[in-house]
Amino acid sequence: MQLEEFLNNLLTQSGVSGYENNVASAVVEGFRGLYDEFRLDPLGNLILLKKGEGRGDEPRPRVMLAAHMDEIGFVITKVEDEGGLRFSNIGGIDPRVLPGQEVIVHGKRDLMGVIGSKPPHIQDHDEAKKAMKREDMFIDVGLTRAELEGLVSVGDTATIYREPIILKDEFLAAKALDDRAGVGVLFTCLEELSRMRHLADVYCVSTVQEEVGIRGAIVGTYSIVPDVGIAVDVCHADMPGVPEYDTVPMDKGPALGFGPHVHPRIYERLVKTAEDAGIPYQVDPSPYPGGTDAWGIQMAREGIPTALVSIPLRYMHTSVEMVCLRDIKRSGRLLARFISGLDKDFLEGLKCF
| Residues classed as catalytic | 210
Largest CA distance in the chain: 76
Residue 335: which region, alpha, beta or left (left: phi > 0; alpha: psi -120 to 50)? alpha
- Backbone φ and ψ for 48, nearest 5 degrees, come out as -105, 130
Please say whether the beta carbons of 103 and 157 come within 8 A: no
Strand runs (DSSP E) across the chain, as ranges?
Answer: 37-40, 46-50, 62-68, 73-79, 85-90, 102-106, 110-116, 138-140, 157-160, 165-166, 171-174, 201-207, 228-236, 255-258, 282-285, 306-313, 321-324
Residue 335, judged by CB atoms within 10 A of its CB (0-12, 13-18, 19+), counts as buried
Amino acid, res. 82: E
Q: Which residues, 6 or more positions from 275, have their beta carbon under 8 angstroms from its beta carbon?
A: none
HSE, side-chain direction, 13 A CA sphere, residue 60: 20
Phi/psi-derived region of residue 51, left when phi > 0, alpha when psi is between -120 and 50, beta in every other case: beta
